[in-house]
Structure 1
Amino acid sequence: MEAKLAAYRVRKRKQAMVESMKNSVKGVLTWGSNTSNTSASSSPPPAYVELEDREDIESSQSEESLDLTPAENPVLTQVTYLLYFLLWATLYMIALQFEFGAVYFIVSSLVLIWKNTRSGPKKKGEISAYSVFNPNCQAIDGTLNAEQFEREIRYGASSVH
């Protein structure tokens, strides 16, 4: 009896986890849209919901990472970058008044370089800049390899397409 109870609790915990994942994904995907006009008639039949639950459990157990970032508004992004630049320029002017402009510029350049490096994992299917990590040692476009260099030396630069 206790084994059945433990199995039931595990199943309920998984269902709660899947439900919370579904709600969080729905919350991210419908962020900013009006969700108050949903009706009960648009809900899917129970068999379809059970199929979705099974697929959600399988997808939550897979090792694939999902990109759940909402689409950004380009105008809002441009305004945000403009405000960042104006803040930086204002602070730069203040640093110039205190004769600290060169240090401020160098530190802000280093921060900009650091913020623009990617520290997260690469996306699925994305090839690496280092060909030894790619399938079949496939090089990215624009990479100078030994064969191309040898052709250019022997036959001239026009031999390479």
Structure 2
Amino acid sequence: MEAKISEYRRRKRREAMMEAVKNSLKEVLSWQSNATTANVKGMERLQDEDDLESILSEDSIDETACPSTFYARTIGLLYFLLWLTLYIIAIQIEFGSVYFVISTLAFICLNTRSGRKNTEEVSAYSVFNPNCHSIAGTLTAEQFEQEIRYGPLSVK
């Protein structure tokens, strides 16, 4: 029985680690910085289940699969330099404003999430969350009323 439990835990840790790797690769390839928060959440989930050192010591997990932030910034810089070079060329052929508008619209479209959200993510709209739980920083009617009655320092 314990062997089955340990196998199940090992499989779950491996799946969580692979999900963190996928999220970090998605962040590098799509220029999105909000994917790093999903990667951090995945790592926090791993630390809750077991000690991170025991997870990384397993032979089945490749530690070098996670790209570094230096690599991500270098790729971002190369994309920006490519865009800047093309923009200078577009200015030379008097097509600069059209290139700028089209590239701005493309940047907005590429950095807008159009896929489904992860199951661990909470919605910004509290009615879609379990038990109508609101996200941190949301101003609720109760908080507003307490601030009006007792002052802004009364809210924790």
The alignment's TM-score, normalised by the length of structure 2, stands at: 0.53
Per-residue deviation, 1:103: 2.8
Question: Over alpha carbons, which structure has the higher Rg?
Answer: 1
Q: 2:84 aligns with which of 62, 86, 89?
A: 89
Identity of aligned residues (%): 55
Partner of 1:113: 108
Partner of 1:28: none
Deviating 4+ runs (over 4 angstroms)? none
Q: 1:152 to 1:100 in 2, by over 3 A?
A: farther
C-alpha distance after superposition, 1:57-110 (max 9, x if no partner): xx9xxxxxx736252243332222111111100111122223332332222222
Partner of 1:123: 118
Partner of 1:147: 142
Distance 1:102 1:159 in 2: 51
The answer for unaligned runs of 5 or more in structure 1 is 1-47, 60-65
Could you say which structure has the higher helix fraction? 2
The alignment's TM-score, normalised by the length of structure 1, stands at: 0.52
Counting only pairs closer than 5 Å after superposition, residues 3-152 of structure 1 correspond to structure 2 as 67=19, 69=22, 70-152=65-147
The answer for unaligned runs of 5 or more in structure 2 is 13-17, 23-64
Note the aligned Cα RMSD (angstroms). 3.0
